[in-house]
Copies of this chain bind each other. A is one copy, B any other.
Amino acid sequence: MAEAETRRRSRGGGGAARRAERTAVSVETAKYIERNIPNFEILTEEALEIIETNAETVLAEIGVNFVNNPGALELWRNAGAEITGERVRIPRGLARKLCSTAPSTITQHARNPNRNVEIGGRNLVLAPVYGPPFVHDAQGGRRYATMADFEKFVKLGYMSKWLHHSGGTVCEPTDIPVNKRHLDMLLAHMTLSDKPFMGSVTEPSRAQDSVEMCEILFGKDFVQENTVMTSLININSPMTFDDVMMGALEVYAKNNQACIVSPFIVGGAMAPVSVMGTLTQVLAEVMAGIAYSQLVRPGAPVIFGAFVTSIDMNSGAPTFGTPEASQITYGAGQLARRMNLPYRSAGSFTGSKLPDAQAAYETANSLNMGLLSGVNFMLHACGWLEGGLVSSFEKFVMDADQLGALHKMAQGVAIDEDSQAMGAIAEVGPGGHYLGCAHTQANFKSAFWRSEIFDFKPYETWSEEGARDTMALATERVKRQLDTYQQPPLDAGIHDALVEYVAKKKASMPDAFM
């Protein structure tokens, strides 16, 4: 592989190494966000207590279904739940008590330790879009995603300063058999990026493959002792835990790997049309799922997830960036903090078919709300389009750029003497201007966050340069980032072992497309 070759050559000659260093593209990644601003708390204590009481009622009286999973039913029965068929009714207080063994913060390790992330507390870790079967860009339009697209998105994620995480299924590589594509996806995350990533959840056996590939990458003992994957376990709302997702959760929990336990809710379809009703169901579902993870392995790392969107009652289409989804996200954050659990929600959500104004309004609504609602892990933080059916190349870099604004906002307001700038106000005085004053000269480089995509040029200059809209500017940025991408170094032995594992696994079974 080219990367390994480069490393060997670099080692061989100091001159080449120095040349490589001089020409290396900086792939700076910001540290995960450590908030220095308050959370926005939309719910009163009264509202929170109502939801918590009602959620216990839901678990005790209505219950949840664990489908095709006799082992889970057995675990629940032994823990004191009432089992009727596949229905699990959980006595008041039991689920919350079981959840208390889950850690409040998760350190997810990356193969580059500088890129480890702390998920929990006041932190916010940003990961890209997950799951779309289609991709879209200006040149090629909308089309089924391929492995080549997948690799491009992993490279863009690696190049994005404000993304802390490489994510998981950045798009579905539909040209690879379903039963094998997780291998190629993981190999791409492991070799094309050095940021933390997610494991496969589409079959318990694929979760096991993910663990085994991590054991090659990190070492077997390291994986058992540390969290190296954060994977997405969706709850089949309302209140159904299917065997595939639970099977994957079981594998990860047993191997000390983190799961996001996440209701997947289009309000009005999978949950009531009201905010209070949805929050009640979200809390009941998350408590049941996380309690189950702790039955599998007490102390297993988990994240309180909430994927919530509203519905257009005229057409039945899901809608994004809406005020009701924001209210639910704010409220779920409060509920998660009261359980002392890391919280996953929000993202670059939009229902638009293009990375246009609709997409940006909806996305900005959700990103801002995600920051202020105390989210600790934001999946889908960039690149989401068309209700999650499409990963957009242009929107990926547009959103990723906006994530920089979240970093700056989260820093809060410095109040030290230099920041008070009383000397500058005295120096400039009434009617003066600050552009040349000493305080401005000393601070201007870090004073203002700056978009690397948006255009601030005068109209005339912008016109002469082709009157490009944001999408055109983003197309250019995608190309520039992919053109300048350089693979992060990886030990050649590890690299070869991963490639060999993937090849062997693929050869061990016939292609399957479901």
Chain A facing B: main interface SS: mixed
Q: Which residue of B lies closest to A365 (CB)?
A: B364
Give Cα distance in the complex from A63 to B426, angstroms: 10
User: Are A268 and B431 closer than 8 Å at their CB atoms?
Assistant: no
* Nearest chain B residue, comparing its CB with the CB of A86: B430
**Contact between chains at B42 and A40 (CB < 8 Å):** no
Q: How many whole Å from A421's CB to the nearest CB in chain B?
A: 3
Contact A425 B354 (CB under 8 A): no
CA distance A420 to B459 in the complex (A): 52
Q: Check if A179 is an interface residue, CB within 8 A of chain B.
A: no
The residues of B that contact A453 with a CB separation of less than 8 Å are: 358
Chain B residues with Cβ under 8 A from A314's Cβ? 450
B457 pairs with A317, CB closer than 8 A: yes
The reply to whether A405 and B277 contact each other, CB–CB distance below 8 Å, is no
**Chain B residue with minimal CB distance to A411?**
B323
Encoded as 1 (CB less than 8 Å from any B CB) or 0, chain A from 39 to 72 comes to 0111110110010001001100111110000000
- A240 partner residues in chain B, CB cutoff 8 A: 430-431
- Residues on B with C-beta less than 8 A from A321 are 405
Which residues of B sit under 8 angstroms from A359, Cβ to Cβ? 357, 360
Is residue A2 within 8 Å, beta carbon to beta carbon, of the partner chain? Answer: no
User: Is A175 interfacial (CB 8 A cutoff)?
Assistant: no
Q: Is the CB of A42 within 8 A of B38?
A: yes
**Complex alpha-carbon distance, A276 and B423, angstroms:** 12
The docked-state distance in angstroms from the alpha carbon of A272 to that of B311 is 45
If the complex has contacts A353-B462, A422-B57, A434-B271, are A361 and B358 also in contact, measured as CB distance less than 8 A?
A: no
Closest chain B CB from A459 CB (angstroms): 6
Binds B, one of A183-191, A215-223, A465-473: A465-473
Inter-subunit contact A434/B42 (CB<8 Å): no
Contact A409–B469 (Cβ < 8 Å):
no
Collect the chain B residues with CB atoms within 8 Å of residue A271's CB.
Answer: 434
- A511 contacts B by Cβ under 8 Å: no
Which residues in B have their C-beta under 8 angstroms from that of A462?
353
Question: How far does the alpha carbon of A323 sit from the alpha carbon of B422 in the complex, in Å?
Answer: 22
Residues of B within 8 A of A57 (CB): 422
A445 within 8 A of B: yes
Please state if A270 and B323 are interface contacts (CB–CB under 8 Å).
no
Interface residues of A in 389-439 (CB under 8 A from B): 389, 398, 402, 405-406, 408-409, 412-415, 418-422, 424-426, 428-435, 439
Task: Pick out which of these stretches binds chain B: A19-27, A158-166, A243-251, A324-332.
Answer: A324-332
Cβ-defined partner of A351 (8 Å) among B238, B413, B419, B454: B454
| Contact yes or no, B456 A312, CB < 8 A | yes
A440 touches B352 (CB 8 A): no
Q: Are B456 and A317 in contact (CB under 8 A)?
A: yes
Copies, count: 2
Q: In this complex, which of A326, A389, A405 has the most chain B Cβ atoms within 10 angstroms of its Cβ?
A: A405
Task: Report whether A430 and B268 are in contact in the complex, using a CB–CB cutoff of 8 Å.
Answer: no
Chain B residues closer than 8 Å to A37, beta-carbon distance: 42
Contact A439 B272 (CB under 8 A): yes
Query: Is B447 a contact of A268 with CB atoms below 8 Å?
Result: yes
Q: Are A322 and B448 in contact (CB under 8 A)?
A: yes
The answer to whether A269 has its CB under 8 Å from any CB of chain B is yes
Q: How large is the interface on A (under 10, 10 to 19, 20 to 34, 35 or more residues)?
A: 35 or more
Interchain CA distance A87-B431 in the complex, whole Å:
11
- Taking the closest CB of chain B, its distance from the CB of A243, in whole angstroms, is 14
Is A74 at the interface (CB under 8 A from chain B)?
A: no
Contacts of A354 in B (CB 8 A): 467, 469
Q: In the complex the two chains form, is B456's CB within 8 Å of A405's CB?
A: no
Instruction: Kindly list chain B residues whose C-beta atoms are within 8 Å of the C-beta of A272.
Output: 421, 424-425, 434, 439-440
Asked whether any CB of chain B lies closer than 8 Å to the CB of A319, the reply is yes
Chain B residues within an 8 Å CB radius of A445: 313
- Bound Cα distance from A331 to B193, whole angstroms: 40
Query: In the docked arrangement, what's the CA distance between A58 and B432, Å?
Result: 14
A171 at interface by CB-CB < 8 Å:
no
A332–chain B nearest beta-carbon distance, Å? 12
Q: Report yes or no: B42 in contact with A412, Cβ–Cβ below 8 A.
A: yes
Q: B residues within 8 A CB of A435?
A: 268-269, 316
What is the CA–CA distance of A384 and B382 in the complex, to the nearest angstrom? Answer: 26
Asked if A239 is at the interface (CB within 8 A of a chain B CB), the reply is: yes
Can you spell out 5 A-B residue pairs with CB atoms less than 8 angstroms apart? A272-B439, A273-B434, A311-B448, A353-B462, A386-B459
The 4 A-B pairs at the shortest CB distance, nearest first, are namely A277-B421, A364-B364, A360-B360, A272-B421
Given contacts A315-B457, A355-B357, A361-B361, 20 further A-B contacts (CB under 8 A): A46-B415, A65-B431, A269-B434, A273-B443, A274-B439, A274-B443, A276-B420, A277-B422, A277-B424, A281-B425, A317-B457, A318-B456, A326-B409, A353-B459, A357-B471, A358-B470, A361-B364, A362-B454, A364-B365, A365-B405
